[in-house]
Structure 1
Amino acid sequence: MSETCPILSLAHLDAEMLQLDIDTQIEYRCKTGRSMPLVDLRVVNEHMEDIADGVQNSGEIVVRAPWLTQGYLKDTRNSENLWQGGYLHTGDVANKDHKGYIKITDRTKDVIKCGGEWISSLELEDILSHHNAVSEVAVIAQPDEKWGERPLALIVVTTDTADTEDKPSKKEILALLHEYTDTGVISKQVILTRVKFIEAIDKTSVGKVNKRLLREKHLD
């Protein structure tokens, strides 16, 4: 984000990590990396408590560094929100592994807060898009009395399966998520995901998924 320019972290591999297999090296290089000197970077929950390391534990990245913006011109309210708790709130949702490498998984406005855990809508979308019959998918947070929120997967199936027996069932879609929860790749809370088949996913004028509009239309 422009408020944190020029840099906060770097995905640099040390000598030990360069001995890892190439796939693992690529995985680390694709992460946001470790914080730079003079950068105090934390991954916290909504109470500003540090999140435990681990790919299943997500929180918001908050930072302090000498070069960060101090606020917005003539906008006291948003400036105060930006620096709540003495740290700049990036709005990025991430997890941190035992080596200190950060991986950004979502934005706070789109993350699903389910039973005390933060579920990345982008990670769920990535998993569900691997199904051969899924053309497009968007995941949004649906209010829930028991869990606070639970994921709602809005799915557009491919045209060649839309009106045939090859159209996937909701049970089949959820089974795909179970494969990832059983191996510990994602939180077990995602088994609470609801599935809804729709004809089209609303987009903004620049072609991005319009999750604000999707929430208005489908959260009944």
Structure 2
Amino acid sequence: SLMRAAAAAGITAVAGYGMSETCPVLTLSRHDLEDVRPPETVRRWAGRPIPLVQIRLHDESGEDVSGVANGQGEIVVRAPWLTQSYPNSAQAGKALWSGGWLHTQDVATREPQGDIVICDRLKDVIKTGGEWVSSAEIEDLALRDPDIAEAAVVGAPDARWGERPVLFAVARPGCTPSLQTLKDRMSPMVTAGQLSRWAAPDRLILIEALPRTSVGKIDKKLLRLRLGEDVLDSRSAS
């Protein structure tokens, strides 16, 4: 939506990716003239590594899944200018460079042409049914619902599947969002193989406002606490 707004103002927006520890740029999106893919799709991805940057995607066991079709993994990087450690925290620095690669805590996939596509933060990805499901992807689908003003997805512990997605949503005035409507919208994408069959949320919790951090980001820690309280309340009631 941000790129469409920029285009309406005559601006060509191009995405990139990096973090404070990488000082900061690692990748930039690029749409080549011979590329048959839609420019608006390619330009919103994180893009390809800039010179001297090596990028891999590592799964939970540390295996490189960069070349695996639809393989999701944590982005790990090497470059000459990266942060080597943290002041007064040798342990955090050791974790940052586990296995000789800088760990970004971001989960992504890689297109055949080499483009990096960010999926989620490692702490927010939902591990369910033996797969990683992006909470951000479910949130994006939820926000296409005209009844939903804001959305956030967190993983709820599940004895059988490990975790299951739960959707917190802020309804637009006078509207009542439906979990079934969201599932119906996701169904064709699951059938087409564009979305994991594990991605449909199990629960929809309506909330007046999403909790946010001091910098305006959705505070999923508080949502997880709220989810835990709901579970305890339901157990007490039963």
Aligned residues of 1:134 and 1:157 also touching (Cα < 8 A)? yes
Deviations 1:123-151 (A, max 9, x none): 11010111111122110011111111111
User: How far apart are residue 6 of structure 1 and its match?
Assistant: 4.3
**Corresponding residue for residue 26 of structure 2:** 8
Deviations 1:49-80 (A, max 9, x none): 122544x4321100112221111122101001
Structural mapping, 1:137-156, within 5 Å: 137-156=151-170
Q: Distance in 2 between matches of 1:5 and 1:156?
A: 36
Aligned residues of 1:174 and 1:193 also touching (Cα < 8 A)? no
Letter in structure 1 aligned against 2:159:
E
2:188 matches 1:174: no
User: How far apart are residue 209 of structure 1 and its match?
Assistant: 1.3
Correspondent of 2:145 among 127, 131, 135: 131
Correspondent of 2:75 among 61, 80, 84: 61
SS at structure 2 position matched to 1:130 = coil
Q: Whose RCO is larger (CA < 8 A, sep 6+)?
A: 1
* Change in CA separation of 1:39 and 1:170 when aligned onto 2, cut-off 3 Å: same
2:220 matches 1:211: yes
Identity of paired residues, percent?
Answer: 43
**Corresponding residue for residue 196 of structure 1:** 205
* Change in CA separation of 1:7 and 1:198 when aligned onto 2, cut-off 3 Å: closer
| Unmatched runs of 5 consecutive residues or more in structure 2 | 1-18, 232-238
2:110 matches 1:96: yes
Deviations 1:144-181 (A, max 9, x none): 111111111112222212xxxxx343222222222322
**Corresponding residue for residue 51 of structure 2:** 37
**Corresponding residue for residue 75 of structure 1:** 89
Q: Distance in 1 between matches of 2:28 and 2:139?
A: 26
| Unmatched runs of 5 consecutive residues or more in structure 1 | 162-166
Aligned residues of 2:152 and 2:168 also touching (Cα < 8 A)? yes
Q: Distance in 2 between matches of 1:213 and 1:170?
A: 22
Q: Distance in 1 between matches of 2:100 and 2:63?
A: 13
Q: Which deviates further from its counterpart, 101-110 or 174-183?
A: 174-183
Deviations 1:84-111 (A, max 9, x none): 1111001111111111100112111211
SS at structure 2 position matched to 1:8 = strand
Aligned residues of 1:35 and 1:41 also touching (Cα < 8 A)? yes
Q: Distance in 2 between matches of 1:196 and 1:180?
A: 23
Q: Distance in 1 between matches of 2:130 and 2:78?
A: 26
Which contiguous aligned blocks of 4+ residues in structure 1 show a shift greater than 6 angstroms?
Answer: none
* Change in CA separation of 1:189 and 1:35 when aligned onto 2, cut-off 3 Å: same
Q: TM-score, normalised by structure 1?
A: 0.87
Q: Distance in 1 between matches of 2:41 and 2:100?
A: 32
Q: Distance in 1 between matches of 2:204 and 2:127?
A: 17
Aligned residues of 1:9 and 1:36 also touching (Cα < 8 A)? yes
